[in-house]
Amino acid sequence: MDIQKQKTVEEDAWHPLKQFTAARIALGRTGNAIPLKELLKFRLAHAHARDAVYARLHSQELVQQLQQFNLPVYSLHSKAKDRNEYLLHPDLGRQLNDASVQLLQNRSASFDIVLILADGLSATAVNHHAVPLLQLLIPLLQESNFSIAITTAQQARVAVGDTTGSLMHAKLSLVLIGERPGLSAADSMGAYLTYNPTVGLTDESRNCISNIRPEGMDYAKAAAKIHYLITASFRLQYSGVLLKDEELDILEEKKKE
């Protein structure tokens, strides 16, 4: 037998379905093990996920990029002093440190919407995707006559938007945050909006749009979806489980007209 021509990897019956998903399916097998090529891909994806968890939010670079919007920008930090404390004590990531609280208390202006760029569990996601998304979203919000301020928040979790929004007397907070990395996506960004942000709210008070990145929900679709939910939230004066995404129903009705 010609060993060079012998097929060593046996394809999975689901192999044709791989073209429809980035999920780790239909890997095939070599004997009773997964092929070496797939094993190396898995280890690389795992390394990317770990790197994303420990990545640093490029706060200064983000602040410089945010100047293009000519909006107030504030740099904040949670009570978690570093990444290890952030991971070991989730409650600290939901609160602002004393210096950040003082900074927000010393300002006088109020805004309809405060945008919070938070590292979460993947600063990589926010470093890459926050500004491109805002370049599409902020013009939509300004056309709707919303007043806006922006903050960056290091070592922060979703609920830090409640404290920030409350201290800034904002009517709505929108947190753009790095999601927990997966083995097929280490740079997914989530958007959480909360109407009337107040300390102590729980997750049923928020609406979430997930997997914002070019390979997931692209920037244009995400900006349109967030704008739709924000305008609906202001009209109804609530957010969370009671606020339904009826945008597709509206589009279908328009098609019938």
Choose one of 30, 53, 76: the last residue of a domain.
53
CATH number for the domain spanning 177: value is: 3.40.50.11240
Q: What are phi and psi of 5, to 5 degrees?
A: -95, -5
Interval 57-95: pLDDT, tens: 999 999 999 999 999 999 999 999 999 999 999 999 999
Alpha carbon separation from 43 to 21, 29, 49, 182, 183 (Å, rounded)? 19, 17, 10, 12, 9
Same domain, yes or no: 194 and 124: yes
In whole angstroms, give the CA distance from residue 194 to residue 227.
Answer: 13
Residue 2 lies in a domain: no
Are residues 38 and 148 both part of a single domain? Answer: no
Tell me the pLDDT tens digit for each residue of 13-49: 888 888 888 888 889 888 888 899 989 999 999 998 8
8 domain residue, yes or no? no
Taking the C-alpha atoms of residue 238 and residue 12, their distance in angstroms, rounded to an integer, is 48
172 and 226 in one domain? Answer: yes
Judge if 167 and 238 occupy the same domain: yes
Give the model's confidence band at 247: pLDDT under 50 very low, under 70 low, under 90 confident, else very high.
low
Q: What percent of the chain has pLDDT over 90?
A: 72
How does pLDDT run across 139-157, given as a tens digit for each residue? 999 999 999 999 999 999 9
One domain for residues 159 and 223: yes
Residues 118 and 244 in one domain: yes
Confidence category of residue 244, pLDDT binned at 50, 70, 90 = confident
Q: Are residues 112 and 156 in the same domain?
A: yes
25 and 143 share a domain? no
pLDDT for position 7:
67
User: Are 113 and 30 members of one domain?
Assistant: no
Instruction: Evaluate if residue 231 carries a pLDDT over 70.
Output: yes
> Looking at per-residue confidence, does 18 or 221 come out higher?
221
Q: Is residue 73 part of a domain?
A: yes
Residue 6 clears pLDDT 90, i.e. is over it: no
The answer to whether residue 105 sits within a structural domain is yes
- Mean pLDDT of the 234-244 span: 92
Q: What share of the chain is helix, strand, coil (3-state, %, to 5)?
A: 45, 20, 35
Known binding site: residues?
Answer: 158, 179, 208
| pLDDT computed for residue 15 by the predictor | 87
> What's the rounded mean pLDDT across residues 123-136?
97
pLDDT per position as a tens digit, 186-215: 899 999 999 999 999 999 999 999 999 999
Binding residues for adenosylcob(III)alamin are: 158, 179, 208
Nearest alpha carbon to residue 155 among 239, 56, 241:
56
Together in a domain, 189 and 218: yes
pLDDT band at 134 (very low <50, low <70, confident <90, very high): very high
Tell me, yes or no, whether 139 and 152 share the same domain. yes
Domain assignment present for 4: no
> Could you tell me which residue, 63 or 3, shows the higher pLDDT?
63
Considering the domain architecture, whether residues 44 and 140 belong to the same structural domain is answered as no
> Please, is 238 exposed, middle or buried when counting C-beta atoms within 10 Å of its C-beta (0-12, 13-18, 19+)?
middle
- The mean pLDDT value of the chain amounts to 91
Query: 3-class SS at 236?
Result: helix
Please give the average per-residue pLDDT across 233-256, as a whole number.
78
Residue 7 lies in a domain: no
Q: Which is more confidently placed, 108 or 214?
A: 214
pLDDT for the residue 123: 96
Range of the domain at 228: 56-252
Domain-embedded: residue 155: yes
Our count of domains for the chain comes to 2
Interval 111-125 mean pLDDT: 96
In this prediction, residues 115-130 reach a mean pLDDT of 97
